[in-house]
Amino acid sequence: MYLKVINKGFNFSQDGPGNRLVYHLQGCNMRCPWCSMPESFPQNGSLIVKGPANEDFCPFGHIKDGKPNFDECALCVCKPCTKILSSPLYLSYKDVSLDDLISEAVRSRPMFFAGGGVTFTGGEATLQFPALKEALKRLKAQGIHTALETNASVSKLPQLFDYVDWLIIDYKHYDGKKLEDVVGLGNELILKNLKAAAKNRKQLLVHIPLIKGFNASILDAHEFAKTFRSLNFPQLEIEFLPYHEYGKDKWSQCGLEYKMQDAFVSDQEVKEIIDVFKSYSLNIVNT
């Protein structure tokens, strides 16, 4: 079995407790316009362009004036241009066998200090469900702490609960219509999975990206807070992730247009949102 891995690296405390080996997996079923990993979108991988390309690199004639035709490239399964050593064209992921991944995690055990372990995130990691489940099972069998960050939009998510020590659900909007309008997917399943997590788990961290004009008004804060109070789950922890533009340049490298504007939320606005959540007795964390 294989996982399509975009990148991996160690990260302290941001994607679960302690020092963690974090795998970003290919594929996402949402299209958040603020996404910092647009290369993750297609399940069969993105073409990433890091410089002018020689026309000869494409056997199908889809490079002109140094630029590939991204529409054609999306249909190109084998992407031979990415296999040429001097090519500035890259495939966004590598296939990693589960044997290699587990042995890498086992070798990395001394690095998992302060309660660390392995985290899977994305893209949307659960789109590679069978291999992800198997990887989590095998890591647990090795006694390695596991974490999963997910947008919770896949119906089988609860099947992973037993193999995930630390679950992070990204909850982007309480209003399904608004969510669908902006990211292309409503929140019916997400809410169902959120409730299932609150009912069946001892731990749950929710990440909320704060995007001005989308979900970051005081009214929004009250509506979010009401949703979380209704879960009746005292262990629930909530962390806000204010809008940033770290992945902006990657959009053009993938042939996509970055359309976000004026989405930053000030420190004062974040503080006011936190105050609203606290007035509902919700636990806010900052990892």
SS3 85: coil
Q: What is the DSSP letter of 237?
A: E
Please report how close the Cβ of residue 24 comes to ligand SF4 at its closest, in angstroms. Answer: 9
Give 72 or 134: the residue with its C-beta nearer to ligand SF4: 72
Task: Classify the C-alpha dihedral 122-35-269-233 as positive or negative.
Answer: negative
Supply 140's token pair: 């647990």
Give first-to-last CA distance, the chain, whole Å.
33
Give 47 or 102: the residue with its C-beta nearer to ligand SF4: 47
By CB under 6 A, name the one of 3, 22, 73, 167 that touches ligand SF4.
73
- Told to check if 263 binds ligand SF4 by CB under 6 A, we report no
Interatomic CA distance for residues 198 and 259, integer angstroms: 35
Please report how close the Cβ of residue 231 comes to ligand SF4 at its closest, in angstroms. Answer: 21
- Binding piece for ligand SF4, criterion CB under 6 A, among 69-77, 173-181, 236-244, 249-257: 69-77
Q: Which value, in Å, is the radius of gyration of the alpha carbons in the chain? A: 20
Q: Which helix (H) or strand (E) holds 218?
A: helix 218-231
- Told to check if 22 binds ligand SF4 by CB under 6 A, we report no
- Told to check if 79 binds ligand SF4 by CB under 6 A, we report yes
Strand partners, 141: none
- Told to check if 146 binds ligand SF4 by CB under 6 A, we report no
| AA identity, residue 147 | A
By CB under 6 A, name the one of 21, 22, 30, 131 that touches ligand SF4.
30
Binding residues for ligand SF4 (CB under 6 A):
28, 30-32, 35, 37, 40, 47, 58, 60, 62-63, 68, 72-73, 76, 79-81, 89, 122-124, 151
